Structure 1
Amino acid sequence: MSETLTYGIRRAMIEWYSGSGSGEGKSLWLNVHIDGISDLFIAVYDAATKHQPTGSQVGHGPEGLYFGEIGEHRLYDISKTVSQEKSPKPTMFTEEKLHKYFEHLRAYMVSNSRCHAERSRSIGYTAQDMLASIKPEIEASLSG
């Protein structure tokens, strides 16, 4: 999930003190943390710069697309993770809250963003669990 979108969701949820989502929260998005993307850049660079036997070089052109992901989540999953300490079940954002926090991102919040990182994993990429990073980031946001 985009760091921009995740940050906006966290900011809104902290202010509202509950996990919230848009619509039914069924949109599918990638699990990937920004640190996972930096790990992907390193894996691609390392694979591209080491000597490889003919036929096993790192792809380029259409074969050179490397995605970063470690599964998928629904916006509801993020809302639930954020709200665990405040409320057992997240609520959905009202139209007013959607306009206040996400006017420029609303179309993304109800769409899907999906891919699979098989090619990235084939060169040694591993990613961190994005959902596991939410609680420490919320706590850091609340403390400072």
Structure 2
Amino acid sequence: MKKVEIYEPAGCASGTCDPMIEADLIRIERMVQDLRERGVSVTRYNVMDDMPAFMDSFVVKEAIATKGIDCLPLTIVDGKIEMMEKYPTDFALAKWAGLPWGDLEIYADREKREKTVLFGFSEDVTGNDCDDSDCTGDCNSCG
């Protein structure tokens, strides 16, 4: 399995948090626990609590120097940035973690159900505008 690292902004440290951001944080924590239970190495670093981890990572320092702190959250898999400025979907995170297709289908179905409940419509979570057959639909990892 692969090594997944998520470098996060201060987030809700002030005690006030946008409900959409809070929902995303809860979703990511649930997904991190799912991946850990499947044997995937997943580590979350918060800029307020884990500054040494930010300073120790060349990739993270370079991203912040180039794009500023707004590049957070950063999702890094095996030392390569897969996504910045937002949290990945469960499907994308599961795919990057190297889960088998049968498991990926579970996450794709879950996302489809959540979109239907939240937004009243359904769309293919792997739908995209590019020709990359491996695209996760997040459009930050497509060529």
Which structure has the greater CA radius of gyration? 1
Question: Above 0.5 in TM-score?
Answer: no
Bigger helix share:
1
Q: TM-score, normalised by structure 1?
A: 0.23
